Amino acid sequence: MLMTLYSTGIRRAELVHLKVGDVDSQRMVIHIHEGKGRKDRDVPLSAKLLETLREYWRCVKPRNYLFPGQSADAPLTTKAVWFACHTAVKRAGIQKRISPHSLRHSYATHLLESGADLRTIQLLLGHADIKHTLVYLHLSQRHLHAATNPLDTLAVSDVAEVRPSRRKLR
C-alpha cells in the first residue's frame, strides 16, 4: 500500500477504492475513478510497482478491491492505511512525523526535482487549480538553486567597468 502511495502520488481515499481492474499493465497506468472532485485520471504505473503488485496479488488474490477491508467486497478504511504508515515509520525508527500524505508530497517533490513541469504534476496529482501544485516549488531544493545569479554570469572585466557615477540622480 505504501509503495503504491509513493509511486503514484494518489490520496488515501483513492488508494482504498482501487480495484484490481484499475491496474492496466498493458498501458502501464493505474486508473483512478472519481478522485477528489469526482474526476477520473490515470497515473503512471512503474515497472517496480507492477512487479510488487503482482507478487502481492499471488499471495492475497484480491477479487474486487486491490486492498480489501474486513471482507473481500469492502474497501480498506483510510484509517487502516494511516495505521500501516504509522507502524512502518515506527519500525524504521524514523523520528519525523510521517503520514500517508507525506508520501504524496515526496512523490510530487521528487517529480519536480527530476525535471517534470508543474502542469504535468498538477494533472498527475489531480489538482483542479495550479495554486495547489505550486506548494511543491517551496519544497524543492533543486529549484532554489536552479537559476543562475546574474552577477555570477558577468566576467571580471565587466564588473571592473561598472563604476558608480558621481552625477546626482534627478
Tell me the domain boundaries of the chain: 2-153
User: What gap in Å lies between CA 68 and CA 72, rounded to an integer?
Assistant: 5
Among this protein's residues, is 6 annotated catalytic? no
- Kindly report the CATH number that applies to the domain delimited by 2-153: 1.10.443.10
Among this protein's residues, is 143 annotated catalytic? no
In DSSP terms, 41 is beta-bridged to 32
Among this protein's residues, is 110 annotated catalytic? no
| List of residues 6+ apart from 82 with CB closer than 8 A | 12, 99, 100
Q: Which of 6, 65, 107, 136 is catalytic?
A: 136
Q: Which of 6, 65, 104, 107 is catalytic?
A: 104
Q: pTM for this one?
A: 0.77
User: What gap in Å lies between CA 42 and CA 125, rounded to an integer?
Assistant: 10
Which tens digit of pLDDT belongs to each residue from 15-54? Answer: 999 999 999 999 999 999 877 777 888 999 999 999 999 9
